[in-house]
Amino acid sequence: MAETKVTPKLEYGMIARFEGPKELLHAAEKVRDEGYTKFDCHSPFPIHGMDDAMGLKQSKVGYISGVGAALGFALGLWLQWWTSAVDYPLVIAGKPFFSYQAFVPVTFGLTVLFGALGAVFGMFHVNRLPQYFHGVFHSDRFPKFSDDAFFVSIEKEDPKYDRSSTMSFLESIGGAEIEVLEGE
């Protein structure tokens, strides 16, 4: 008879369900105040004040988008200046080679384009996307967050994470249906 190998399940963290948005907001504050840093809140809609409750800093996406817009502006203006004043200068109706008024539409368009691309790719970078796997995907209850459930998940990589103390902490702040996230 052949022996089957049993692979030990990996632990990814813990997830707890809360009753509503108000309870989730208060739970996020308590998790933050307890010292957890690698946690997330899952809700079917945005909750005003959640960023502050979780202790999140201001997003860097605006700065990345601003740098992209400045780069688009500079590139558009430089390209038009180079082509019409340096590389292939033409006298058109007695105007100077660098007539910036004619360059406004293209420069504006590239400013908007590079700013938008900076926002999209900056958002992907800041949010660590695409993330093909997360421990919460092992939960059978987690898909309900997009309908009517509110969850707090704490990752095992959090320095303060301890299976028993984290579970009792989540119970103490009103968490229900607490589940340890395990998988292969």
Q: Are strands 10-18 and 39-42 parallel, antiparallel or unpaired?
A: unpaired
Q: What is the pLDDT of residue 184?
A: 78
Q: What is the pLDDT of residue 35?
A: 96
All structural domains of the chain, each given as residue ranges with its CATH number in brackets, are 10-57+133-183 (3.30.70), 61-126 (no CATH)
Q: Is the pLDDT of residue 133 over 90?
A: no
Position 183 confidence tier, pLDDT thresholds 50, 70, 90: confident
| Triad 156, 159, 160: Cα angle to 5° | 90
Measured in degrees and rounded to the nearest 5, phi and psi for residue 178 equal: -70, 130
Q: Is the pLDDT of residue 148 over 70?
A: yes
Task: Name the helix (H) or strand (E) containing 118.
Answer: helix 104-126
Q: What is the mean pLDDT of residues 157-174?
A: 95
DSSP 24-76: HHHHHHHHHHHT--SEEEE-SS--TTHHHHHTPPPPSHHHHHHHHHHHHHHHH
| Predicted TM-score (pTM) of this structure | 0.76
Residues 18-72: tens digit of each pLDDT: 999 999 999 999 999 999 999 999 999 999 999 999 999 999 999 999 999 999 9
| Triad 103, 109, 111: Cα angle to 5° | 95
Cα–Cα distance for residue pair 156/131, rounded to 1 Å: 17
Q: Is the pLDDT of residue 1 over 70?
A: no
Position 134 confidence tier, pLDDT thresholds 50, 70, 90: confident
Q: What is the pLDDT of residue 2?
A: 64
Residues 88-130: tens digit of each pLDDT: 888 888 888 888 888 999 999 999 999 999 999 999 999 889 8
Q: What is the pLDDT of residue 106?
A: 96
